A and B are shown apart, each in its own frame.
Chain A
Amino acid sequence: MYAALFKVLPGPLWLRILLAILLVAIVVALLFFVVFPVIVPFIEPLITPDPTAVG
């Protein structure tokens, strides 16, 4: 899957590596600033094991 994605990238090897890093950075940024803030209220109840714990 990722190998196929890498093959689709244009240009010489160095450019593809650069593009791949860029794509990963974009995905991580989207996760950090869009996806995670939206899903965190749904996940927090699941990771608070003991409701009486102070933390």
Chain B
Amino acid sequence: MSDTSLRPRRRRPSRGASRGLGIVGVLGELLITAGVLVFLFIGWYFGIHDAQQRAEQDETAAALSDQWQVPEPTAEPAEPAPVVVPTPEFGEGYAVLKVPRFGPDYGTIIAEGAVLSVLEQHIGHFEGTAQPGEIGNFAVAGHRTTWGRPLNLIHELKPGDALVVETADGWYTYRYRSGEIVKPQAMDVLLPVPRQPGVEPTEAMITLVACHPMFSARERFIGYGALESFTPRSDGPPASLAAPPPDGA
């Protein structure tokens, strides 16, 4: 090194003290490094990793939708009543949830069973609740954060927003009505008429269940909607898939 004359040499008082401080110093630096690594991991996990999983889920959902596309819409008359999906196998991805409010490319596969193993990749349908188009409550759960965060933006839904459930048969357009925050034990949100035990259902409802607040599982954010229309596959994608007004005008 040629620049020693330019910089004042810093000498520690004695060699022994210097060596002791050196070891402690290195240990300290290692601990700080470990701390920084943990924070980096957390940042990566909730940022990059989750965004990657979100993109993957959008892709797999789009691929499933594509499988259902008919080459050219047959011009047969539309069926008046929505086709009710027969109960699928546990873990089977049988529908795709599309929410224009969550973005034009948003799509997540809905699979049977609202358990963690299903929710790691899909939105899970609570077994025993109604199926798409069926009178009663089509109740599904999805992660609010992590695991692709399919219901991350549930709090941004505005009354009237389209919640479109696509199946092999066509598109079920539900309209968002309201949301509420409940305790995790509030299983009555899954009732045929949510929160009203013993009441006979008269319409086809959808209930979205996600965690609240974000990054916590202390409460649940519940979103309710009701079926507006069914569009058979032969009629092509419904207008409800178009972008919603910017802020619930």
Co-assembled chains A and B:
yes
- Which residues in A have their C-beta under 8 angstroms from that of B143? 54-55
**Contact between chains at A1 and B209 (CB < 8 Å):** no
**Contact between chains at B211 and A54 (CB < 8 Å):** yes
In chain B between 31 and 65, which residues have their CB closer than 8 angstroms to a CB of chain A? 37, 40-41, 44-45, 48-49
**Contact between chains at B49 and A1 (CB < 8 Å):** no
**Contact between chains at A36 and B217 (CB < 8 Å):** no
B119 within 8 Å of A (CB atoms): yes
**Contact between chains at A54 and B141 (CB < 8 Å):** yes
Q: How many Å lie between the Cα of A40 and that of B201 in the bound state?
A: 44
B98 within 8 Å of A (CB atoms): no
How many residues from B make CB contacts under 8 Å with A? 27
Q: How many Å lie between the Cα of A28 and that of B220 in the bound state?
A: 35
B163 within 8 Å of A (CB atoms): no
In whole Å, how far is A36's beta carbon from the nearest beta carbon of chain B?
Answer: 5
**Contact between chains at A54 and B25 (CB < 8 Å):** no
Spot the interface stretch: B100-108, B144-152, B226-234, B235-243. Answer: B144-152
**Contact between chains at B48 and A32 (CB < 8 Å):** yes
Q: Tell which of B26, B45, B209, B220 touches A40, judged by Cβ atoms closer than 8 Å.
A: B45
Q: How many Å lie between the Cα of A49 and that of B40 in the bound state?
A: 21
Q: How many Å lie between the Cα of A43 and that of B28 in the bound state?
A: 25
Q: Tell which of A2, A37, A40, A53 touches B217, judged by Cβ atoms closer than 8 Å.
A: A53
A15 within 8 Å of B (CB atoms): no
In whole Å, how far is B209's beta carbon from the nearest beta carbon of chain A?
Answer: 6
**Contact between chains at B220 and A54 (CB < 8 Å):** yes
**Contact between chains at B30 and A53 (CB < 8 Å):** no
- Which residues in A have their C-beta under 8 angstroms from that of B142? 54
8 closest residue pairs by CB, A with B:
A53-B217, A55-B143, A1-B26, A1-B29, A55-B211, A54-B141, A36-B44, A32-B44
